[in-house]
Amino acid sequence: MIDPRPPLAALLLTLGVGLAPLAAPATALEPSPLAAEIDRRAAAAETRMIEWRRHLHQHPELSNREVETSRFVAERLRALGLAPRTGIARHGVVAVIEGALPGATVALRADLDALPVREEVDLPFASRATSDYEGKPVPVMHACGHDAHTAMLLAAAEVLTGLRDQLPGRVVLLFQPAEEGVPEEERPAGAEAMVAAGVLDQPKVDAIFGLHVFAKYPSGHLGYRSGPMLAAADRFEIVVEGRQAHGSQPWLGVDPIVAASVIVTSLQTIVSRSIDLTREPAVVTVGQFEAGVRNNIIPDRARLAGTIRTYDPAMQEEIHADLVWLAEQVAAAHGARATVRIDPQVPATVNDPALVERMLPTLARVSAGRVAQVQKITAAEDFSYFAARVPGLFVQLGVTPPAELESAAGNHSPRFYVDEAALPTGVRALAHLAADYLFAAAR
């Protein structure tokens, strides 16, 4: 997942400028009776957690290929006395921490996969791994911090497993593959496939929590948002068919490049002129334009591909309809024909407002008050599939020292760097969110 916020926005977050204040919930959630012990155990697990994170960072695997990562996670969980289920949605791992007391069920989620990126950070545990991506050999790197997510959830599992004799209810640990997306022929995958496999039903989950590290936020700071937080992502493809001709005699053909070029510029009017942006933001971007094989031949075909980002389902449908109509009409006006395909990839990630309000005291306590409501993010995250089924809360964890925010490379960069000093905050956030929710539900 990419953090699109500019450095200035990150600086404002550091200074606390321009952010919504932390609102006090109507009913304050008290810390669980295990709060002090959770903090003690989290501190004790820190060294192991850092070792796990470095091992995972040095041995990354691409989406739907997380064989060794899955094995590593399952071995750590068995060492804690848990009985993990493996092979969920290909390489997902699920384990349940059964509390000794009756109560509700919460889930904690982390993702396992890495990206086809060559690491440029000078670390003793830097990745030198390679794999195949779209039929080509590629370098592989944890350029989005999923190694940190997995290590933090393993550490939280250690903390909570050690306290299960005092814990009401149960905690479902979800280690998810393929968050970064897969080829069309491998779908459904990731969170969508895990939900289809019943991970929220066996046992039935009442609420789910997850977090994501972000380069452009200060280390140890937590960011949240009530309602839509990350965008829905759709992929579109437009094929424009014309009629081939010699480049010196364009009147004998129908130029698909000209028609496709006008389509590209016209698509920008969907957001700028057709959609009511006072409801929610939206993005339509063309990322690929392919046509022709020779400088003096007008081809018979051009292809465009791009992405749509939305937060509101009604606006999403409206943009889809506008895109199809506009592409077809512009092509027809040039004597060409356009065929449009839109593939929904990931729905919007929506944090349950009641759950956000309920858990804000936990986030404030864990971060020593360094928590703020943040702007919407136009990146997408398939945590949305979980949050669409049960109330969910997805939190951002800053992993860059404040003095380095302006120069820090963002997520998905070959220079993406995680300040490991921030990770204990993530471990504590996961463990306290689970414990506070379960004890509150048991009261």
Active site residues: 113, 179
| Cβ pair 59, 112 in contact under 8 A | no
Cα distance between residue 255 and residue 46, in whole Å? 62
DSSP state for residue 130 in the 8-state scheme: E
| Cβ pair 302, 238 in contact under 8 A | no
- Strand ranges inside 92-231, DSSP E: 92-98, 101-111, 130-133, 136-139, 168-176, 207-218, 222-224, 227-230
Tokens of 126: 């830097």
Cα distance between residue 147 and residue 74, in whole Å? 15
Render the burial of 12-35: b for 16+ CB within 10 Å, e for the rest: bbbeeeebeeeeeeeeebebbebb
Cα distance between residue 398 and residue 214, in whole Å? 5
Separation in Å, CA 390 to CA 26, 121, 209, 272, 286: 22, 38, 10, 35, 34
